[in-house]
Amino acid sequence: MVTHISELLLNVDFAIERKAPVRSNDMTDLEYYEKCVYWYINPETIMTEAQIQNAQKENEKKQERIKQIAEQKYYEMLERAGVDTIFYHANINSLESWNPEHMKKILIIQDAYKAGKWLTFTGKTGKGKTFLSCAMIIDKLKHGKTAEILTSKHLIEKINGASFEKKESVTEIYFKLDFLVIDEMGRHSDTENSRNIIFDIIKKRHANLKQTVIASNMTNEELFGAGGFFDDVVSRRVSEAGKTIIFDWSYKSKEVLNDEEF
Q: What is the average per-residue pLDDT within 49-72?
A: 82
User: What percentage of the chain has pLDDT greater than the value 90?
Assistant: 40
Q: Residue 109: which of 127, 85, 82 has the closest Cα?
A: 127
8 Å CB contact between 212 and 118: yes
pLDDT-wise least confident of 54-58, 76-80, 130-134, 199-203: 54-58
Please state the rounded mean pLDDT for residues 176-188. 92
Q: What is the pLDDT of residue 258?
A: 41
Report d(CA 15, CA 13) in Å as an integer: 5
Which residue would you say has higher pLDDT here, 43 or 7?
43
Superfamily of domain 81-246: P-loop containing nucleotide triphosphate hydrolases (3.40.50.300)
Q: What pLDDT is stored for residue 250 in this prediction?
A: 61
Mean pLDDT confidence for 235-250? 86
- Give me the residue spans of the domains in the chain: 5-45, 81-246
Q: What is the reported pLDDT for 1?
A: 45
Q: Residue 139: pLDDT band by 50, 70, 90 thresholds?
A: very high
For residues 112 and 120, what is the distance between their CA atoms, to the nearest angstrom? 11
- pLDDT band at residue 251 using 50, 70 and 90 as cut-offs: low
Instruction: Report pLDDT for 87.
Output: 93
Confidence of residue 153 (pLDDT cuts 50, 70, 90): very high
Confidence at residue 192, expressed as pLDDT on a 0 to 100 scale: 86
**Nearest Cα residue to 104 out of 260, 261, 246:** 246
Read off the pLDDT band of 7 (50, 70, 90): very low
**176-200 average pLDDT score:** 90
What pLDDT sits at residue 48? 63
Q: Would the pLDDT of 4 be above 60?
A: no
Q: Give the helix ranges, DSSP H, for 81-151.
A: 100-114, 129-142
Mean pLDDT, all residues of the chain = 82
pLDDT for the residue numbered 109: 93
pLDDT at 38: 67
Q: What is the pLDDT of residue 31?
A: 77
Q: What is the pLDDT of residue 94?
A: 80
Between 111 and 63, the more confident residue is 111
Kindly state the DSSP code that residue 95 receives in the 8-state scheme. B
Report the relative pairing of strands 242-246 and 179-183 from DSSP bridges: unpaired
